[in-house]
Chain A
Amino acid sequence: MSFWTNERIEDAVLICEDLCKSYPGLNKPVLDRFCCQIPKGKIIGLLGPNGCGKSTLIKLITGLLVADRGEIYIDGKRRSEKTNALISYLPERTYFNNWMRVEELLTFFAEFYEDFDMALARKMLGELQIDTNAKLKALSKGTKEKVQLVLVMARKAKLYLLDEPIAGVDPAARDYILQTIIGNYNPEATVIITTHLIYDIEPILDEFLFMGFGGKVMLSGVADEVRNEKGKSLDELFRECFRYTPSADSFGR
């Protein structure tokens, strides 16, 4: 299993060592000595309840946040501004300027990222029937998310970090997004997807990691193997792993 081996795996695209992160105003650290090793060429689900530190981890990897302690290596190199070029990141929220047109965003991405595949982006926008002349502020929340995902997936990156890629879009677009991830599957690249919509995402995963509070690894492994061994879907295992038990008192009397 790739997440918890003590020995370094050879083809790791991402290594996290003893990552710690606390926020002021929170008693407990969001990440407490989090370690993982993620190999190349895999689609990986980073799955956990709200507030367990998934997005914090992603932001540490992208350099948007700085860890209190610990090291991150990307494709064998210590995390830096340079390694950012290897990462294609889909944030939880869209960050585009509302006054821009989709067309302008395309140009922006093409200028900013050497690995941006304009033809692929146009093809995907066409398949999703998105008007590239539209201004972003005229687009619905879901459509903006689709545009953003297209831009992120149209890069030829080593590591894709998709933070909640399917949460805000309709089921048909969800299917399209999952197929896009599969269709762009490249043996050299790894895709890390955070989500709590496990049922939707689980067929496309190679491996998964259940993250509990403090970034604790509750369960991880190869999706097919764990499903076979336990005779349950990841969705069911997740519900068991993170069950909240309401007490009768909480409903008043």
Chain B
Amino acid sequence: MPWKFNSHEAVFLQIASRLRGEILRGKYQPDQQIPPVRQLAFEAAVNPNTMQKALTVLEEEGLLYSRGTVGRFVTTDRSVLALCGERVRREAVHRLVEEAFELGITKEELLRYIQEEGGVEDEKAAGDPAADGGNA
């Protein structure tokens, strides 16, 4: 299935955040090789150069590293993974809070809604793959 994209953000950034999420959720384990550009581009139905650009973003963040012509691998540096996970989680919460405030929900109400929502604790979204062992 080709990936879906929104029209406000550059496609390569959307691809980067999707792959970042997959790495943080442990779909790809530390030191595991990710599929080659062409295969990822094919799966997503995006231009290979766009996919390449997205992978470069993740390399610059230190989440991926390349071994010459062999391919790209997930970093083994736990601190990079932890830091990146922390950033993604903060961004997610930030979006939630912003949207809530736009709807006029107060801080107290928001906290209450989150507690009532329940079930959230069961899903280890964007967790540290080192901590929960991943689910690849």
Contacts and interface: CB of A to CB of B under 8 A. Distances in A.
Partners in one complex: yes
B7 interface: yes
Interface of B: 1-3, 5, 7-8, 10-12, 38, 41-42, 44-50, 53
Given A175-B45, A185-B48, A228 B7 contact: no
A82 to B, nearest CB: 30
Nearest to A185: B48
A157 interface: no
A132 B41 CA distance: 30
A206 interface: yes
A179 interface: yes
B10 A228 contact: yes
A235 B3 CA distance: 17
Contact of A203 (B1, B38, B44, B53): B44
Contacts of B8: 231-233
Interface residues of A, number: 22
Contacts of B7: 199, 232-233, 235-236
Most buried by B among A178, A182, A232: A182
Chain A interface, >50% SS class: helix
B92 to A, nearest CB: 22
Interface of A: 43, 175, 178-179, 182-183, 185, 199, 202-206, 223-224, 227-228, 231-233, 235-236
A228 B54 CA distance: 13
Given A182-B47, A227-B11, 14 more contacts: A175-B1, A175-B2, A178-B2, A178-B45, A179-B45, A182-B48, A183-B42, A185-B48, A202-B11, A203-B2, A204-B45, A205-B47, A228-B10, A232-B8
Contacts of B2: 175, 178-179, 203
Nearest to A43: B47
